[in-house]
């Protein structure tokens, strides 16, 4: 079905600084205003008058996975193949797609959301000491953008970035969260393995690559919260980027805010409470020699409503080498080398450069 579009209007504020300096919920929200006061003041005399920004809203390709997840004879082989073709086609044309009948129960998704809200509603001072707070490793709790030198580089959000290996050992004070995270991660990891095997098959490549290199210990979850932002058209919830993994699986709430680039323009993803969102990462684009697309995406903020999401990142070990058969568009590189290059570019330029660093000039 061809995606349907509609216009979504966003109107910038007349009085940027006045709105931006409205107090947040200081008990739970990160101190964005204090930390980025200089960036806000630098922008006060800039071109932030009334400006209408039109962003199209779309429904991503929607794929029913019941045709490949059933292990009985209910689904015939032609339907399985059709489903695989849809997955590969969406990965080539969009880099994003939605899946239903994905094997993760509605009850588990609702429980995950409840536990996530509980954690983020804890006082900021407590969250920022996450090693004592939930036994998460140091650095798990992140907020804002420490390297930001302008508002365009600032992300108005907070997150818990949790390596899969640390989930079962975490959250002694939040045992329900720990068990829910573990259940969610185990289930979504199985889905990631299934989808990557299909995408590898459609390339004529060995799907055992992912079994050997993308282990539970190398993947991670990220719980996200996007607090209300006084001027949503001026500050991102999450700045534009591509994902530095093979595959990302996202569950978002009904608030919306995810946007991606399609045919050279930004479009907004219409929330679907029944679906999970899947997107191709940089490593898969390189491994597929640009057959599958890692697409730039961002999260926009909301002036009055907080947004929650949880993402699973399907990553290899640092020593995994990304390469494909000749003629290749990319030189051979390890995941460690890729990550270090991204970190270096972010420190130097304030944003990720990514795959262009590894292109071969033909």
Residues recognised as catalytic: 307
> How many CB atoms within 10 Å of residue 256?
18
* Residue position matching structure tokens 């204090």: 34
DSSP state of 152: G
For residue 56, give both structure tokens.
Answer: 């199209």
Per-residue exposure over 117-150, b if at least 16 CB sit within 10 Å of its own CB, e if not: eebbebebebbeebeebbbbeeebbbbbbeebee
Beta strands in 295-352 (DSSP E): 297-300, 307-314, 321-322, 333-334
Q: CA nearest 98: which of 240, 260, 220? A: 260
Alpha helices in the chain (DSSP H): 16-20, 32-35, 37-43, 66-69, 77-93, 106-120, 124-127, 130-133, 164-167, 175-203, 208-213, 282-287, 335-349
Contact between 83 and 67 under an 8 Å Cβ cutoff? The reply is yes
Is there a contact between 309 and 249 (Cβ–Cβ < 8 Å)?
no
Give the CB-side neighbour count of residue 272, counting CA atoms within 13 A: 21
Q: Are 358 and 346 in contact (CB under 8 A)?
A: no
Answer whether 170's CB lies under 8 Å from 115's CB.
no
Structural contact between residues 286 and 330, judged by C-beta atoms closer than 8 angstroms: yes
């Amino acid at each position: 079905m061809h995606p349907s579009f509609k216009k979504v209007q966003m109107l910038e504020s007349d009085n940027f600084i006045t709105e931006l300096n409205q107090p947040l919920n200081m008990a739970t929200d990160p101190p964005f205003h204090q930390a980025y006061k200089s960036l806000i003041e630098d922008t006060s005399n800039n071109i932030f008058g009334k400006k209408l920004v039109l962003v199209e809203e779309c429904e991503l390709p929607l794929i029913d996975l019941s045709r490949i997840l059933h292990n009985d004879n209910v689904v015939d082989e032609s339907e399985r193949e059709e489903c695989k073709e849809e997955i590969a086609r969406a990965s080539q044309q969009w880099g994003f797609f939605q899946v239903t009948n994905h094997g993760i129960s509605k009850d588990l998704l609702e429980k995950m959301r409840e536990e996530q809200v509980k954690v983020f509603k804890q006082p900021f001072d407590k969250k920022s000491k996450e090693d004592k707070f939930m036994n998460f490793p140091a650095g798990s709790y992140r907020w804002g953008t420490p390297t930001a030198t302008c508002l365009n580089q600032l992300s108005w959000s907070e997150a818990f970035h949790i390596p899969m290996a640390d989930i079962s050992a975490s959250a002694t004070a939040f045992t329900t969260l720990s068990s829910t995270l573990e259940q969610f991660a185990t289930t979504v990891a199985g889905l990631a393995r299934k989808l990557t095997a299909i995408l590898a098959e459609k390339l004529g490549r060995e799907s055992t690559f992912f079994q050997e290199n993308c282990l539970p210990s190398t993947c991670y979850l990220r719980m996200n919260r996007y607090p209300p932002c006084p001027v949503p058209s001026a500050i991102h919830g999450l700045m534009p980027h591509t994902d530095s993994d093979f595959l990302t699986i996202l569950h978002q709430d009904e608030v919306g805010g995810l946007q991606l680039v399609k045919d050279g323009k930004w479009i907004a993803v219409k929330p679907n409470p029944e679906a999970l969102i899947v997107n191709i990462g940089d490593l898969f684009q390189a491994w597929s020699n640009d057959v599958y697309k890692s697409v730039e995406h961002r999260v926009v903020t909301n002036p009055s409503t907080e947004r929650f999401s949880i993402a699973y990142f399907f990553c290899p070990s640092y020593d995994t080498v990304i390469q494909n058969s000749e003629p290749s568009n990319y030189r051979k590189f390890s995941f460690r080398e890729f990550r270090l290059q991204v970190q270096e570019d972010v420190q130097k330029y304030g944003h990720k450069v990514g795959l262009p660093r590894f292109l071969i000039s033909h």
